[in-house]
Amino acid sequence: MNIAIFASHGGSNAQAIIDACAEDRLAAAVAAVISNNSQSGALDRARRAGIPSYHLSSKAYPEEEALDRAILETLRRHGVNLIALAGYMKKLGPETLRAYAGRILNVHPSLLPKFGGHGMYGEHVHEAVIAAGERETGVTVHLVDAEYDEGPIVAQCAVPVEAGDTAETLAERVLHKEHEFYVATLQRIARGEIVLPG
C-alpha cells in the first residue's frame, strides 16, 4: 500500500502511521503528506521523516476545481493507492473522491453514527459525549464520501467514559486509542483481512 496522509493540524495520527511503516509494523509506505494548512505539524513530521510534503490549499488554488485537480495530480505522481485522512478539516473534491472511491479512510473520535457530522470534530465530539451521559465512546475508521462522517464503517473499537472525565481527559484517552487502532486497521487492510470496495 502506498498511503497519502491528509492532516490539517498537529499530525499525531500521521506520526503513528509514519512510525508504524518505518518500524515494519505496517506493511505500507507513506508516499506523501498533504495539508491545507502551511503551519501544520503534520508537514513538519513528514519533512523530518524524509517524506514528500505538500501544502495544497485555496490560497494557492482559489478555484475549488483547480485545488481538486492539484491534489489528484499529486496523488497520482506518487503512485498513491490509499488515502488516510488524519484530522483533515476540509472536504475532498469530487474528482479525488471519484478517482479514489472506496480507498479513502478517515478516523473519527466517536462510535459513529453517534456524534458525527458537520462541526463534530476534536473537543466538540468529547464535550457532546459527556453532555449526553454516555458511558462509552470510541474510535471509528470509515470510508469517506461527499458527506461528513457518513461513509460506510470499516472498523470500530470502544473506549470507556470514566466518572469525572472532562472533554480533555476523554480526548487524551481516545487519541491514544486512535493512534494504535488506525494503524491496526490499516494493517488488516494490508493483510487482506479487510477488503475495501475500491
pLDDT digits (tens, 9 = 90+) for 104-137: 999 999 999 999 998 899 999 999 999 999 999 9
Q: What angle do CA 44, 66, 78 make, to 5 degrees?
A: 50
Write out pLDDT tens, residues 136-170.
Answer: 999 999 999 988 899 999 999 999 999 999 999 99
**pTM score, two decimals?**
0.96
Cell digits of residue 104 = 479513502
Residue range 107-198 forms a domain whose CATH class is alpha beta
Report the pLDDT value the prediction gives residue 26, as an integer from 0 to 100: 97
**Cis peptide bond N-terminal to 113, omega within 30:** yes
**What is the arithmetic mean of pLDDT over 15-29?**
97
H helix runs in the chain, sequence order: 12-22, 41-48, 64-77, 94-99, 123-131, 167-191
Q: What are phi and psi of 174, to 5 degrees?
A: -70, -40
Catalytic site residue from 9, 55, 78, 108:
108
What is the CB-side half-sphere exposure of residue 141 using CA atoms within 13 A?
Answer: 28
Domain boundaries, the chain: 1-100, 107-198
The amino acid occupying position 30 is: V
Average pLDDT over residues 17-32: 98
Find the helix or strand (DSSP H, E) in which 62 lies: none
Q: Is the domain covering 1-100 a CATH 3.40.50.170 domain?
A: yes
Residue 168 has a CB neighbour count (10 Å cut-off) of 10
Please give the annotated binding residues, written as ranges.
11-13, 106
Q: Is the pLDDT of residue 181 over 90?
A: yes
Residue 102 has pLDDT above 90, yes or no: yes
179 among known catalytic residues: no
Summary mean pLDDT of the chain: 96
- Find the helix packing angle between 167-191 and 12-22, rounded to 10°: 40
